[in-house]
A and B are shown apart, each in its own frame.
Chain A
Amino acid sequence: MKILVPVKRVVDYNVKVRVKPDQTGVDLANVKMSMNPFCEIAVEEAIRMKEKGLAEEIVVVSIGPAGAQETIRTALAMGADRGIHVTTDAIVEPLAVAKILAKIAGEESPELIILGKQAIDDDANATGQMLGALLGWPQGTFASKVEKDGDTLKVTREIDGGLQTVSFGLPAIVTTDLRLNEPRYASLPNIMKAKRKPIDAKAPEDYGVDLTPRLEVLKVAEPPKRQGGVKVETVAELVSKLKNEAGVL
């Protein structure tokens, strides 16, 4: 089985981002960038499947600026086999990403595509689902457990009401939730080995996909500063405040 794992380069989860003064977005100058944590979980899951003998090859794809190559190298250092870097400085929305991935899936014929459920920069949570629709493949989103039984994939999903298990045939799409696994650290020997693993350089034009954004960002603003709370003396006072002031009861 071949597994395709798309990965996204995002602002590191530890960075406190600041809104640009002109409110067009957040300031990314000199900010630490890393692999999206959900994508790391996707890479880890693919590697574990390969280690169990369930997969032969793991191909990672990243669509983004030159720096995204570093993110691909990280995935290769974790244990993926080769990379595809679709280089673009444009803003790529989930639909454009899904369209490029659908074309790559056509060329590579993976039996499984594992993606992060969302990226921590814009939190769209859409690429996996759109890709499923474009390819007409079944999908198991928000996975906290993935089991392969012959040609069937059993995915445990984290849903609002608890856990749901779905089974479907391959090829298929899985999007990862936080509790699926704990990604490994890229070890130094593997970082050095990753240097020699191939990365194909591609451009969006190679796939004939129009990247023009379908969405328009009107304004990016800081969330309102948290106001100080009040202490209540009694439960009755609390209930009264919730009812009359907060209007939530």
Chain B
Amino acid sequence: MTALEVRCRWLLLAYPAAYRRVRAEEILGTLLETTPAGRTWPLARDCWALILGGLQARAAQNRRLSTRTNLRLATLLGCVIYLCFAAYSLLGMNLWYGDFGQPAFAVGVLLAMVLLLARPTGRGITSAGKAVAIAAVIAGTTVAVVAMPKNVITLLLIPEVLLVLAALALLSHGTERLPRLWLWLPGLMVAIAALAPLARALSFPQYVNLLVPSPSWYVWAAIGAAAAAWIRVDARPAVGVAAFLGLEAATRLINAWTSTLVTPPATWSARVASAWDSMLAYRMDMIWSFAWKLFAVALALAVLSAWPLRRQAML
């Protein structure tokens, strides 16, 4: 295989796999014939046209399903991102404190999610798989709550995670599955969540907790922008990211608010109790100022993708 052919094959990856199976050899043949002899790279305009053509073929391929199915898959993607990110948070924030109850819960949730999404028969999850998924979640939840957690704040995350998992179970019924390409998105989210503390540790070396994920809202906005740029090809990831950001913002707000409801124990002195109150109020302020930005990005994405999503089903 010549260097030119290798590079052409790389460019052909812009096309969806199903399309490549049928047409790749033909397109490659034409490309090699039309490229002037002696070149090791295809012409610039050929590169550009291949990328555009690939994206267009992807867009055409994505116009097969009804709006209803598209919405279902998009929301499913949002749930998957949410659960992956929440599981990473629970693992990172608790392993650091030496708590193992909530990481057990996170592992149970991830296992249940994988079982619900992976359907080797193509007809839905088997009853044995269902039983294992439910058992894993119940065991994880029990361990998380009973194992005397040192980090009480993240316990608040459990009801929301269970709710989203239930939504995922409901949405995962149906013949259409998540496109495999989309599984990059949750992976990207978790990679970013893992990178954020690393970046912080580099600027504040004395603060070495490498596991607590707290990406700034710019990171989420950048992911939103990438999903928005993809709308022309497929509007569903944008809807999925919007769903994730909305859920994430709502979770943060609900948790900040419920933590303010905890009344300080009567044994605390008035001074400590008032310091506790002002700490919670400060935390609520901070989370609110973060959450509204997430809501804004989610809303912008939802507005941008609403019409293309509908159009995607009509063409």
Partners in one complex: no
